[in-house]
């Protein structure tokens, strides 16, 4: 089954990677082209790169503000979810209590809720509370999907921490809570970090709530902002491509830096159970 | 089940459970408040004729309410109508009849004022209207009245209308205008907008073939959603397995592959939708251009402007974004299968294909079931990709059920109906989960819960 990979294998690999990465390359290429070139050629290179599209992305639309909004909303969402989820996940992974299966079933079930089924009451609630077009107004619905996700991932990671260490701490007289923050928390840090990345990406990528709740241009997030680049007669593809690159690059950097962690997080959530 | 030695009830145990509940409690509270409550609320809203842009129906109400602003305003006109009638010899031929109508309406007004909670609001509304201003405070404009009073009200208004009509001698004379004013009075009373399962009945009707010979909009959007879900999940699974099998070996560039595979997964769906919209574009899209060169399509425009083209575009973009992720999950599952099994099998003379069906597939089944379930649910809820890539078009031909629910709620502001559709999505998702767990892997899902205990 596992021979040394040969020519055929690498051909396949290259085709596969091209399939995945070509759209990104072409979008990047478009982002450094002049509008005239975008509409006149299908070449896979450009001889006259320009940064005009990037300048326009930030000036035609308040793209910097969109980035800031996304960053604040995703950051706060991640922080809150991680705090609450780590307590819950610790209890699930380590402590004995009745109703644990029910809790996990509810968490799993809620993580699969279609967002469309909860959007109308949340919309009415946030409107009545005057929380539309605020950061916290987006954080609230984001918690609904990020908290179950975080509980699910974290309880997997917490299970993998050797139980004996905690027992030792308890024998030395630590309460369960002390055992949590003195022994388990430092060991759990990598898992917490991975979960934070996954939750952050999930919140960063959210569109439906952001589009519906924050209609004030100053309060839009990047995902909504990128759909706002429209002109009357022709679509400004250069600006859109530049915006897409700006949104994608931080994600690519994150993926390159933390790929091992992200993969272990994703697969432990789905494969190991 | 192992038999456990019975332990004395021990304080430490109790303490542990208490700590656990304390740690779990905040999350439970959040989940109840922000996920379960909205679903229940959505269901509740779906039983009402709730329209956010309709002044009389923008709140759910089980009670009769009266629009005092309208009622008081109408009183001025009523007085002026009676002045006109009494001044006209022709209309005032039977003054007793006129007085009867007049007294009936006065009685109605006085009866309204003595209803509980009315008089204060009534006086305020009168004051505001006397100053020629509109009533802006909803709490003052509307007042709840009892069902008995509502019936009395409607009967009185109806008899006054009949009285006016009997008096009327010609079109648009004062008595005729009086009859029309009674319509104003009648609509000042707002009936409860609770409609039971009417919304559901309406959408059940949209499932089948309509009078015009086409399938109703809900039926179409359901079919669209199912086609997109089944086709894209099928390709993602098959391609995912193939890719995972091929790259499940040590080779130079593993890290690069893994990072590359993660990029489409990490990019927001909206961003990938916009990217593909550009690549598919009839004028500037290189993907459309290549397909034309290959002779697969006649001109670049068909990708987003025809039904078949739009379906292909949506599914292709979804497969591009999700296959790598699927392959990654399956690869992790494959790596959990011991090499010894394959060695033993090949010693026993089993060929590759036999090994795949007898070792790989059964052992990979838990991973496959779980990834399939998550992917199916994800694909069934599809919104972002279609919304941004095709906008549901051309026509409504690629509209998914989530999009239908969304436009009903936020374009038409029909929240009652939209809530009904969103409950339909919720029930479909619940049904899909049930089917998967029941028929494909109760043990798998159970195991997932079990392992966390």
State how beta strands B64-67 and B189-190 pair: antiparallel
Among A120, A122, A236, most B C-beta atoms within 10 A, so best to mutate, is A120
What mean pLDDT value characterizes chain B? 87
First vs last Cα of chain B: how many Å apart?
14
Tell me if A242 is assigned to some domain.
no
A45 and A75 in a single domain? The answer is no
Q: Would you tell me which residues 181-240 of chain B have a C-beta closer than 8 angstroms to some C-beta of chain A?
A: none
Tell me the C-alpha to C-alpha distance, in Å, between residue B11 and each of A94, A177, B14, B17, B435.
17, 16, 5, 10, 43
Q: Do B278 and A241 touch (CB under 8 A)?
A: yes
DSSP label at B75? H
Phi, psi at B64, each rounded to 5°: -80, 135
Q: Where are the alpha helices (DSSP H) in B206-268?
A: 217-247, 254-266
Residues B148-180 have pLDDT tens digits of 999 999 999 999 999 999 888 888 888 899 999
A182 and A257 in a single domain? The answer is yes
B434 in A contact zone (CB under 8 Å)? no
Lowest mean pLDDT segment, chosen from A179-183, A257-261, B82-86, B358-362: A179-183
* Residue A94 pLDDT > 70: yes
Quick check: bond before A42 cis, omega within 30?
no
| CATH node for B217-451 | 1.10.3720.10
Domain count, chain A: 2
Closest-CA distance, B83 to chain A, in angstroms, reads 45
Closest-CA distance, B430 to chain A, in angstroms, reads 9
The reported pLDDT for the residue numbered B7 is 52
Interface confidence, given as ipTM, is: 0.90
* Residue B446 pLDDT > 80: no
B405 in A contact zone (CB under 8 Å)? yes
Q: Do A252 and B26 touch (CB under 8 A)?
A: no
Percent of chain B whose predicted confidence (pLDDT) is above 90: 41
Of A20, A30, A156, the CB nearest to B260: A20
* Structure tokens belonging to residue A12: 């396949």
The reported pLDDT for the residue numbered A1 is 45
Give the largest CA-CA distance in chain B.
116
> Which pLDDT band holds residue A271 (cuts at 50, 70, 90)?
low
A21 and A118 in a single domain? The answer is no
Lowest mean pLDDT segment, chosen from A88-92, B236-240, B333-337: B333-337
Residues of B in contact with A248 (CB under 8 A): 263, 267, 271
Contact A242, A54 (CB under 8 A): yes
Q: Do B246 and A9 touch (CB under 8 A)?
A: yes
Q: What is the mean pLDDT of residues B336-342?
A: 82
Tell me if A81 is assigned to some domain.
yes
A93 and A147 in a single domain? The answer is yes
B10 in A contact zone (CB under 8 Å)? no
Residue B33's nearest CA partner among A206, A80, A118 is A118
Closest-CA distance, A13 to chain B, in angstroms, reads 8
Q: Where do the structural domains in chain B lie, given as residue ranges?
A: 64-190, 217-451
Tell me if A160 is assigned to some domain.
yes
Burial class (CB in 10 A: 0-12, 13-18, 19+), B29: exposed
B344 in A contact zone (CB under 8 Å)? no
The helix/strand count (H/E) of chain B reads as 22, 3
> Which pLDDT band holds residue A211 (cuts at 50, 70, 90)?
very high
Contacts by B286-290, CB closer than 8 A, 24 or more apart: B286/A26, B286/A42, B289/A42
Residues of B in contact with A113 (CB under 8 A): 35, 39, 426, 429
Q: Do A272 and B451 touch (CB under 8 A)?
A: yes
Q: Would you tell me which residues 264-303 of chain B have a C-beta closer than 8 angstroms to some C-beta of chain A?
A: 264, 266-272, 274-276, 278-279, 281, 283-284, 286, 289
- B64 three-state secondary structure: strand
Cα separation, A53 vs A58, whole angstroms: 9
In total, the C-beta contacts within 8 angstroms joining chain A to chain B are 282
Tell me if A164 is assigned to some domain.
yes
Q: Do A113 and B267 touch (CB under 8 A)?
A: no
Contact B164, B178 (CB under 8 A): yes
Residue B24's nearest CA partner among A186, A141, A99 is A99
Tell me if A119 is assigned to some domain.
yes
Residues B270-290 have pLDDT tens digits of 999 999 999 998 888 889 889
A67 and A21 in a single domain? The answer is no
Q: What is the mean pLDDT of residues B412-430?
A: 94
Of A88, A116, A260, the CB nearest to B405: A116
Q: What is the mean pLDDT of residues B375-396?
A: 90
Tell me if A243 is assigned to some domain.
no
A77 and A208 in a single domain? The answer is yes
Residue A243's nearest CA partner among A255, A227, A259, A256 is A227
Q: Would you tell me which residues 101-130 of chain A have a C-beta closer than 8 angstroms to some C-beta of chain B?
A: 101, 103-110, 112-124
A87 and A208 in a single domain? The answer is yes
A110 and A38 in a single domain? The answer is no
Cα separation, B11 vs B28, whole angstroms: 25
Q: Do B449 and A105 touch (CB under 8 A)?
A: yes
Closest-CA distance, A58 to chain B, in angstroms, reads 17
Domain that holds residue A34: 7-50
Tell me the C-alpha to C-alpha distance, in Å, between residue A86 and each of A92, A148, A191.
10, 11, 10
* Residue A163 pLDDT > 80: no
DSSP label at A228? G
A133 and A16 in a single domain? The answer is no
Residues B278-329 have pLDDT tens digits of 999 888 888 988 998 888 888 878 888 899 999 999 999 999 999 988 998 8
Closest-CA distance, A272 to chain B, in angstroms, reads 8
Residues B82-124 have pLDDT tens digits of 998 888 888 888 888 889 999 999 999 999 999 998 899 999 9
Among B7, B35, B345, B425, most A C-beta atoms within 10 A, so best to mutate, is B35
A35 and A164 in a single domain? The answer is no
The reported pLDDT for the residue numbered B219 is 94
A71 and A155 in a single domain? The answer is yes
The reported pLDDT for the residue numbered B379 is 93
Q: Do A116 and B425 touch (CB under 8 A)?
A: yes
Q: Do B268 and A17 touch (CB under 8 A)?
A: no
Residues A105-145 have pLDDT tens digits of 888 888 888 999 999 999 999 999 999 999 999 999 999 88
* Residue A24 pLDDT > 50: yes
């Amino acid at each position: 089954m596992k021979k040394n990979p040969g020519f055929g294998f690498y051909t396949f690999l290259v085709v596969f990677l091209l399939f995945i990465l070509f759209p990104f390359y072409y979008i990047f290429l478009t982002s450094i082209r002049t509008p005239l070139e975008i509409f006149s050629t299908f070449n896979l290179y450009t001889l006259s790169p320009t940064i005009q599209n990037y300048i326009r992305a930030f000036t035609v639309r308040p793209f910097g503000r969109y980035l800031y909004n996304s960053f604040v909303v995703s950051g706060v969402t991640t922080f809150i979810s991680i705090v609450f989820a780590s307590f819950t996940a610790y209890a699930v992974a380590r402590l004995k209590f009745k109703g644990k299966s029910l809790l996990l079933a509810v968490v799993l079930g809620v993580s699969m809720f279609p967002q469309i089924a909860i959007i109308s009451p949340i919309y009415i609630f946030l409107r009545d509370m005057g929380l539309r077009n605020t950061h916290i107004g987006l954080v609230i619905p984001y918690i609904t999907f990020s908290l179950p996700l975080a509980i699910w991932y974290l309880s997997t990671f917490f299970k993998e921490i050797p139980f004996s260490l905690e027992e030792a701490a308890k024998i030395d007289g630590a309460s369960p809570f002390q055992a949590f923050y003195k022994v388990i928390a430092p060991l759990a840090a990598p898992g917490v970090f991975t979960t934070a990345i996954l939750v952050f990406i999930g919140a960063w990528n959210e569109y439906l709530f952001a589009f519906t709740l924050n209609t004030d241009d100053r309060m839009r997030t990047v995902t909504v902002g990128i759909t706002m680049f429209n002109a009357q007669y022709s679509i400004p593809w250069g600006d859109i491509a530049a915006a897409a690159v700006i949104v994608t690059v931080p994600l690519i950097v994150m993926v390159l830096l933390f790929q091992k962690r992200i993969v272990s997080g994703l697969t432990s959530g789905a494969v190991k159970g | 089940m192992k038999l456990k030695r019975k332990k004395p009830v021990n304080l430490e145990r109790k303490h542990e459970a208490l700590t656990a509940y304390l740690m779990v409690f905040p999350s439970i509270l959040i989940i109840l408040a922000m996920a379960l409550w909205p679903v229940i609320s959505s269901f509740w809203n779906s039983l009402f004729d709730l329209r956010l842009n309709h002044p009389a129906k923008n709140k759910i109400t089980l009670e009769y309410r009266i629009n005092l602003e309208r009622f008081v305003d109408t009183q001025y006109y009523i007085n002026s109508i009676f002045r006109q009638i009494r001044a006209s010899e022709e209309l005032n031929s039977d003054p007793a009849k006129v007085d009867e109508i007049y007294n009936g309406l006065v009685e109605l007004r006085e009866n309204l004022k003595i209803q509980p909670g009315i008089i204060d609001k009534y006086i305020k509304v009168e004051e505001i209207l006397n100053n020629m201003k509109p009533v802006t405070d909803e709490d003052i404009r509307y007042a709840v009245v009892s069902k008995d009073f509502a019936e009395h009200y409607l009967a009185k208004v109806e008899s006054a209308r009949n009285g006016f009509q009997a008096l009327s001698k010609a079109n648009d004379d004062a008595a005729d205008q009086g009859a029309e004013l009674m319509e104003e009075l009648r609509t000042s009373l707002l009936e409860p907008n609770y409609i039971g399962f009417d919304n559901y009945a309406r959408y059940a009707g949209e499932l089948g073939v309509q009078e015009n010979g086409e399938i109703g909009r809900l039926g179409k959007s359901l079919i669209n959603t199912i086609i997109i879900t089944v086709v894209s999940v099928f390709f993602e699974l098959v391609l995912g397995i193939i890719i995972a099998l091929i790259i499940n070996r040590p080779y130079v560039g593993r890290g690069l592959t893994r990072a590359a595979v993660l990029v489409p997964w990490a990019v927001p769906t909206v961003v990938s939708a916009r990217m593909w919209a550009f690549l598919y574009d009839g004028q500037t899209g290189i993907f459309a251009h290549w397909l034309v060169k290959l002779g697969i399509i006649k001109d670049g425009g068909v990708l987003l402007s025809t039904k078949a083209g739009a379906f292909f575009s949506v599914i292709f973009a979804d497969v591009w974004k999700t296959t790598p992720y699927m392959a990654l999950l399956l690869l992790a599952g494959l790596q959990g299968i011991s090499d010894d099994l394959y060695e033993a099998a090949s010693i026993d003379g089993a060929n590759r294909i036999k090994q795949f069906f007898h070792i790989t597939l059964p052992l990979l089944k838990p991973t496959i079931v779980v990834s399939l379930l998550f992917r199916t649910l994800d694909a069934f809820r599809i919104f972002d990709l279609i919304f941004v890539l095709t906008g549901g078009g051309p026509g409504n031909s690629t509209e998914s059920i989530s999009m239908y629910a969304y436009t009903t709620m936020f374009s038409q502001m029909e929240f009652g109906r939209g809530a009904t559709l969103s409950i339909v999505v919720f029930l479909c998702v619940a049904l899909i989960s049930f089917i998967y767990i029941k028929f494909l892997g109760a043990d798998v899902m159970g195991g997932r819960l079990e392992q966390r205990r």
